[in-house]
Structure 1
Amino acid sequence: MEDLTQDEWVEQLENDGKAVILDVRTDAEVAEGMIPNAIHIDIYRGQDFVSEIEKLDKNKNYYVYCRSGNRSGQACKIMNQLGFENAYNLIGGMLQWEGDIE
């Protein structure tokens, strides 16, 4: 797991042909808007979260975010434990996000 600032996260994401954006917030938070092209898997779903994560391609690079950066950090740690080598946490999450929202 690696914590990245928004600038680092965006720059690395734009130059990554194997990038997947992962939103781990709640449904209510996602309803307020999300980063374009993100996959939504709510970390609060417990074992369902783990089951959904295990379906993802471990050869991809995951750019993970939540509201503030805490849950996405936890999600990255879980992903590392499940064998995902590249999980990048967005420091500050959506609270500090300045990019596009859909």
Structure 2
Amino acid sequence: MEATFFQNNIALIVAAAASGGILLWQLLRRPRHEIGTMVAVQLINYKDGLVLDVREGSEYASGHIPNSKHIPADKLEERLSELEKFKDRPIVMIHRSGVNTTGKAGSILRSHGFAHVHDLAGGIDVWRQANLPIVKK
């Protein structure tokens, strides 16, 4: 009887297995430290997370997340002492869309004992598209 069920429903079984495989592939494909805007906002508002913007100075000046700390990615290692007090807090790293400079910067932070480092998937452009606050200076 069981064999008949499988034979009669083979198309449904194959479709279910394929869709499950696609979902699993997308989950595994995404870098494990990347987060979306909703999670970022929760970390910032409820977990006292630090927003660390690692873009260049002109990019930061053109618009950044309120209360973010700006340290360009290429200066991060020499300015680590500025971040010591945030070692046990979540850090949400912001980069320019299309140029993920947070990967290397995140590795630097993790190698120096920062346990909760996250990259905003899509960078500052995703933040803007979500109509979340931006300040210019």
Range class of TM-score, shorter chain? 0.7 to 0.9
Q: Is the 8 A contact 2:93 2:102 kept in 1?
A: yes
Match of 2:120 among 72, 76, 90: 90
Q: In structure 1, what residue type is equivalent to 2:114?
A: F
Q: Which runs of 5+ in 1 are unaligned?
A: none
Deviation of 1:74 (Å): 2.2
Query: Relative to total residues, which structure has the larger strand share, 1 or 2?
Result: 1
Deviation of 1:9 (Å): 1.4
| Structure 1 counterpart of 2:133 | 100
| Structure 2 counterpart of 1:6 | 37
For the aligned residue pairs, the C-alpha RMSD in angstroms reads 1.7
Match of 1:64 among 70, 77, 93: 93
TM-score (norm 1): 0.85
Alpha-carbon distance between aligned partners in 2 of 1:73 and 1:61, rounded to the nearest angstrom? 16
In the alignment, structure 1 residue 44 sits paired with structure 2 residue 74: yes
Deviation of 1:55 (Å): 3.2
Aligned length: 98
Alpha-carbon distance between aligned partners in 2 of 1:61 and 1:8, rounded to the nearest angstrom? 11
Q: Which runs of 5+ in 2 are unaligned?
A: 1-31
Q: Is the 8 A contact 1:54 1:82 kept in 2?
A: no
Larger radius of gyration: 2
**4+ residue runs of structure 1 moved beyond 3 angstroms?**
none
Match of 1:53 among 80, 93, 108: 80
Q: In structure 2, what residue type is equivalent to 1:40?
A: H
Alpha-carbon distance between aligned partners in 2 of 1:24 and 1:88, rounded to the nearest angstrom? 13
Alpha-carbon distance between aligned partners in 2 of 1:87 and 1:60, rounded to the nearest angstrom? 9
Name which structure has the greater RCO, CA cutoff 8 Å, separation 6+: 1
TM-score (norm 2): 0.65
Deviation of 1:13 (Å): 2.1
